[in-house]
């Protein structure tokens, strides 16, 4: 479980999260709603340990460990995965080497006796996932996300999820910039990943993705606080009446 208590966050001396209290439990899915600048993406970045935010008051635990004593890499070992709202392009790092590195690190974290896969063996291993996601094998030799379409970037994120099997999957507006057909495919793939052994946290301005992934609890953020929380019928209320 991720347990957040009295989280306060600043950026350039301005408070942007105030006394946030949330719980995320394995086997359940959650939805964070709210207007722009309400603090949803900030919260996801803090969980992933973005250096641009200053945490001034907090208690965040994951599996009874203090999250703020863990580096970003160690947080990933605790099975937190963040799907970026804006997926970065990184020149000079080949996609195949990036994927092989994160896979070998996570497998080694599970079992020290497992030998890391060589570049040759990894390409053979990852082929089945490429086929499942309709990703051409030639993509492995390209720089990470460079000149990829939004649709291709989202598929690469899902490929990462398949490789490392995270327990907490934070989707920060994963439906952005996708056309209708691409959105349906991404949503269906995410639905197939969801299980009783993980937790999906959906941040969205659009509600269509909730037709594919059932949520157990909904949080509404406003002015950097959690204003309301309720079961999934709160989504219907927001759709009908708006955030006010």
Query: With 70 as the cut, is the pLDDT of residue 224 above it?
Result: no
* 171 assigned to some structural domain: yes
* 36 assigned to some structural domain: yes
Bigger pLDDT: 35 or 185? Answer: 185
| Strand intervals (E) in 25-113 | 30-33, 54-57, 60-62, 65-66, 80-83, 90-94
Average pLDDT, the chain: 87
Q: Identify the CA nearest to 226 among candidates 59, 49, 38.
A: 38
* 15 assigned to some structural domain: yes
What global pTM score does this model have? Answer: 0.88
* 79 assigned to some structural domain: yes
Q: How many domains does the chain have?
A: 1
Residue-level pLDDT at 129: 96
Q: Identify the CA nearest to 79 among candidates 12, 161, 137, 196.
A: 161
Burial class (CB in 10 A: 0-12, 13-18, 19+), 159: buried
* 104 assigned to some structural domain: no
CB 215 within 8 A of CB 29: yes
Domain harbouring 225, CATH code: 3.40.50.300
Residue 153 is part of which domain span? 2-89+148-241
* 27 assigned to some structural domain: yes
Query: With 80 as the cut, is the pLDDT of residue 234 above it?
Result: no
Q: How many CA atoms lie within 13 A of 231 on its CB side?
A: 1
How confident is the model over 39-46, as a mean pLDDT?
Answer: 85
Query: With 70 as the cut, is the pLDDT of residue 243 above it?
Result: no
Bigger pLDDT: 72 or 11? Answer: 11
Please measure the distance between the N-terminal and C-terminal CA atoms of the chain and give it in whole angstroms.
31
How confident is the model over 130-134, as a mean pLDDT?
Answer: 94
Q: Mean pLDDT check: name the lowest of 25-34, 109-118, 149-158.
A: 109-118
How confident is the model over 58-75, as a mean pLDDT?
Answer: 78
* 109 assigned to some structural domain: no
* 154 assigned to some structural domain: yes
Query: With 90 as the cut, is the pLDDT of residue 228 above it?
Result: no
């Amino acid at each position: 479980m991720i347990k957040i208590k009295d989280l306060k966050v600043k950026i350039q001396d301005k408070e942007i999260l105030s006394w946030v209290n949330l719980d995320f439990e394995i086997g359940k899915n959650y939805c964070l709603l709210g207007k722009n600048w309400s603090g949803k993406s900030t919260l996801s970045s803090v969980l992933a340990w973005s250096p641009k935010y200053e945490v001034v008051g907090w208690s965040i635990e994951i599996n009874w460990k203090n999250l703020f004593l863990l580096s970003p890499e160690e947080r990933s070992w605790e099975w937190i995965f963040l799907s970026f709202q804006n997926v970065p392009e990184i020149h000079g790092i080949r996609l195949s080497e990036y994927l092989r590195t994160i896979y070998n690190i996570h497998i080694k974290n599970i079992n020290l006796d497992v030998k890391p896969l060589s570049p040759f063996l990894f390409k053979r291993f990852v082929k089945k996932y490429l086929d499942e996601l309709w990703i051409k094998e030639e993509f492995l030799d390209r720089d990470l996300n460079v000149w990829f379409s939004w649709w291709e970037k989202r598929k690469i994120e899902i490929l990462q999820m398949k490789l490392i099997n995270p327990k907490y999957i934070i989707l920060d507006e994963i439906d952005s910039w996708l056309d209708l057909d691409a959105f349906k495919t991404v949503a269906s793939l995410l639905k197939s990943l969801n299980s009783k052994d993980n937790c999906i946290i959906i941040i969205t301005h659009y509600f269509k993705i909730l037709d594919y992934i059932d949520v157990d609890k909904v949080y509404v953020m406003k002015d950097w606080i959690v204003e309301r929380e309720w079961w999934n019928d709160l989504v219907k209320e927001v759709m009908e009446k708006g955030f006010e």
